Amino acid sequence: MIPAISTMMDGAAPLLPETSPESRQQRDPERAKKRTSVATTVLPAVASAVVLLGLAALFLVYGFHDGGEGRAAVLAPGSVEVAASSSRGSAEGVSEKSTTPALRLGGGAVRDYAWTNSMLSWQRTAFHFQPPNNWMNGPLYYKGWYHLFYQWNPDSAVWGNITWGHAVSRDLIHWLHLPLAMVPDHWYDINGVWTGSATQLPDGRIVMLYTGATEESVQVQNLAEPADPNDPLLREWSKAEANPVLVPPPGIGLTDFRDPTTAWRSPADSAWRITIGSKDRDHAGLALVYKTEDFLHYDLLPTLLHVVKGTGMWECVDLYPVSASPAVEVGLETSTPPGPGVKHVLKASLDDDKNDYYAIGTYDGEADTWTPDNADNDVGIGLRYDYGKFYASKTFYDPVGRRRVLWGWIGETDSERADILKGWASVQSIPRTIMLDTKTGSNLLQWPVVEMENLRMRGKSFDGLDVSPGSVVPLDVGKATQLDIEAVFEVDTSAADGVVAEAGAAPYSCGTGGGAVGRGLMGPFGLLVLADDQLSERTAVFFYLVKGVDGNLTTFFCQDELRSSKANDLVKRVYGSLVPVLDGENLSIRILVDHSIVEGFAQGGRTCITSRVYPTKAIYESARIFLFNNATNVRVTTKSLKIWELNSAYIRPYVDHSIMESFT
C-alpha cells in the first residue's frame, strides 16, 4: 500500500522545528584520547596473502570523533559533551574515553540520564560483531574459517587489561566465540597485547606481529605463531622467545611506535616489508619501513614510506594495492607489485582527531616510498574512509572471495557510566568490500560484504513515491530496528533553475548547515530512521544539493544525530562530506540499521557515514522509518526504494561437538 503523504500546513514551512546554526555550539571534543589498538591484521600472505587478519577493532570505550566534514562537531542545544580527561595517560601513548567524565549540559551542569534496563538492553546490536560483554579489536582466513582477533578487556566495560579475544566464522557474519587467544603475561606485553597483523608464508606458516606495552609502557613489536598449525581454529598461540623483535629506533618516541602492518613481498629483492606508524618531533605523521627475511631479524630502511606535516601520530597504518582497471573488479593480494593497472592505497588512523584518512597513489618498490596522486588529498588532510564514528580500521585480502575487506572499530558516544550500566562497549563495523572507483579514479568504493544479504527476511518496495517540499512520508515496514535499506532518488531541480548562488555566501557543510531542519533550496531530503511516531526522536540520513556561482551542483551526504535521542549524556553530531555524482547518475543510498548503530553508504559507497545513536522512545515496536523532503525548491521521487527486515547473526560461543560426543 502506498502510504499517505503527511503535508505541512504551508508548503514552505519547515519540516521540523527550525534550529539556527548560530544557536548551536561548535566544538572539537577530540581531546580525550584512547589507545586505538586494533586487532590483528593479517600479515601478508605469500604473494597472495591468504590470510585476512583484520583489525577487529578495540572494543571498549573511546574518545569521541569530530563532526561535520571531519573537523568541528556541531552539538544540539543542551546536548552533552564528555570532558577530555584520560584514565590512561598520554605518557603511555594511548588514549580513551575518560573513566570519570564530566557531562556538560549547555550551561555546564552535570547530570546523568535515567537509563532503564529496557533502553540499555535494546542498544545491543543483532548482526554487528561484539563480545558477550565488556570492552572490545583482527581477521585472517585459515583452513575454511575466517578468524577475528580483537582487543578486549574481559574484566570491565572500560579500557584496560587489553587481551586478544578470538572468534571464527564461515561467512564473516555469523561469528562463534573462542577462548582468549593471547593475554598480557610477559614483560614485553604486560601492559597490553595491542594491534597486530598476520601473514601466511609460502610454506603455509602463519606469523603474527603485534604491539606490546612493556612494564615501562614502552611500545615494542612481538612475534607469535600458532602452537598447533593443524588446528583450523588456531586456539593456541606461542610467543617467540626472541621477543621483542623490534624496539623504537633512535629519534622515535618510546610510546610512538605501534601497529605493524600486514607484510608484503618486495619486488626489489623478494624480502618482506612491514611498515609501522609513528610521528617525528615536529608532529609530522610518518610510516617507517622495515625489511625482514624471517620475521625475527629486521633492518630499518633509510627512507620513510611517507610523511605528512602536521598530522601527528599515525596509528594502524595500512598499505595495499587496488586494481585501477575497470576490467579487473576483484581485490588484489597484498604483495601484488606496482605496475600498470595497479594503484596503492595508504591509510592512517590519526591519533589527533580519531579519524581514518586514506589517499590513492603509487608505491615505488625499489625505493620503498609511496607518493599520492593528489597532494591536496594526502593522508590526514583529504579523504576519509568514513565521516562518522569509525576508527582503527584494517583491510585484509580474502582469497576465497578474491576481494579486499575493510573492518573498522565503532566506539560509543554515550557516557562511561552508561557503558558500565549496560555491561559492554563498542562494536565492529559490518565488513566492507573495498576497491578503487574506476569511474572517478580519485576515491574508493566501500560496500557491505555480499553475505549481509543472507540476513534479509521480509521486504517491501516503495517505488514511485513523490515527496514534495516540506513533507514527511511514513513507511510501514513493521519492525524497524534491524533494516537494510536501498534507495534511488530522482530529483527535479527545475524550480531552482533561475536561482543564482550568492557570491561570498558561507559555503554549506553538513556540520554547520542545520542538519535535517536546516532548510535550503535543494536540501535536505532522505530518510528518517529510528524515529518515533511524533518524530521527537529520529536519525536523519540525507542529501543536500548546492548550486555554485558557476551554476554547477555539488552534492553533500550527511547523517544527523542531533535529535536521535532524548537522553542528555550523549555526544550528538551532524556528520558528512561531499559525495561525487557523475553526469547521468541518480542519487543512491544504502542504510544498515542495527539498534544503536546506523551505517550509510552513498553513491555505491563513495562516501560512508557511521553513527552511534541511543533513542529512548524509538525502540522496539515503537521504532519507525520515514521519507522526508525539507528542501524548498525541489521535488524528490523514489525511483526505487526497498526495505528489508534483517535477521540476527546469533553470535554465540563455539561448541566443539567432538568433545561433546566423547561424553555421550
pLDDT average, residue stretch 3-13:
33
Tell me, what's the pLDDT at 152? Answer: 85
Tell me, what's the pLDDT at 133? Answer: 61
How high is the mean pLDDT of the chain? Answer: 84
- Give CA–CA dist 600/377, Å, rounded: 22
Class of residue 396 by CB neighbours under 10 A (exposed 0-12, middle 13-18, buried 19+): buried
Tell me, what's the pLDDT at 66? Answer: 32
pLDDT average, residue stretch 307-327:
97
Using the predicted structure, report yes or no on whether residue 55 has a pLDDT greater than 90: no
Kindly calculate the radius of gyration of the chain based on its CA atoms and give it in whole angstroms: 24
pLDDT tier for residue 22 given thresholds of 50, 70 and 90? very low
pLDDT average, residue stretch 470-491:
97
Which fold does the domain 456-646 belong to in CATH? Jelly Rolls (2.60.120)
**Residues of the chain above pLDDT 90, percent:** 73
Contact indicator for 430, 649 with CB cutoff of 8 Å: no
pTM for this prediction: 0.86
Contact indicator for 604, 116 with CB cutoff of 8 Å: no
Tell me, what's the pLDDT at 497? Answer: 78
pLDDT average, residue stretch 457-479:
97
Every domain of the chain and the residues it spans: 133-448, 456-646
More confident residue, 96 or 193: 193
More confident residue, 33 or 309: 309
pLDDT average, residue stretch 608-633:
97
- Measured in residues, the chain has a length of 664
DSSP string, 549-605: TTS-EEEEEEEE-TTS-S-SSS---EEEEE----TTPPEEEEEEEETTEEEEEETTT
- Non-local (6+) Cβ contacts of 9 within 8 A are none
Class of residue 582 by CB neighbours under 10 A (exposed 0-12, middle 13-18, buried 19+): exposed
Tell me, what's the pLDDT at 495? Answer: 77
Lowest average pLDDT, out of 454-458, 497-501, 564-568, goes to 497-501
Please tell me if the domain spanning 133-448 has the same topology as the one spanning 456-646: no
Contact indicator for 318, 197 with CB cutoff of 8 Å: no
Tell me, what's the pLDDT at 387? Answer: 98
Using the predicted structure, report yes or no on whether residue 262 has a pLDDT greater than 60: yes
237-239 β-sheet, strand order = 193-200, 206-213, 219-226, 237-239
Using the predicted structure, report yes or no on whether residue 187 has a pLDDT greater than 60: yes
Per-residue buried b or exposed e for 337-357, using 16+ beta carbons within 10 Å of the residue's own CB: eeeeebbbbbbbbbbbbbbbb
Using the predicted structure, report yes or no on whether residue 43 has a pLDDT greater than 60: no
What CATH number was assigned to the domain covering residues 133-448? Answer: 2.115.10.20
- Give CA–CA dist 404/334, Å, rounded: 9
Q: Strands 652-653 and 522-531, how do they pair?
A: unpaired
* Phi, psi (rounded to 5 degrees) for 513: -90, 5
C-alpha cell at 189: 606485553
Q: How many CB atoms lie within 10 A of CB 326?
A: 10
Residue the block writes with cell 540499521: 593
Question: Which secondary-structure segment (H or E) carries 659?
Answer: helix 657-662
**Residues of the chain above pLDDT 70, percent:** 80
Contact indicator for 426, 135 with CB cutoff of 8 Å: yes
Tell me, what's the pLDDT at 277? Answer: 98
pLDDT tier for residue 151 given thresholds of 50, 70 and 90? confident
Residue the block writes with cell 555421550: 664
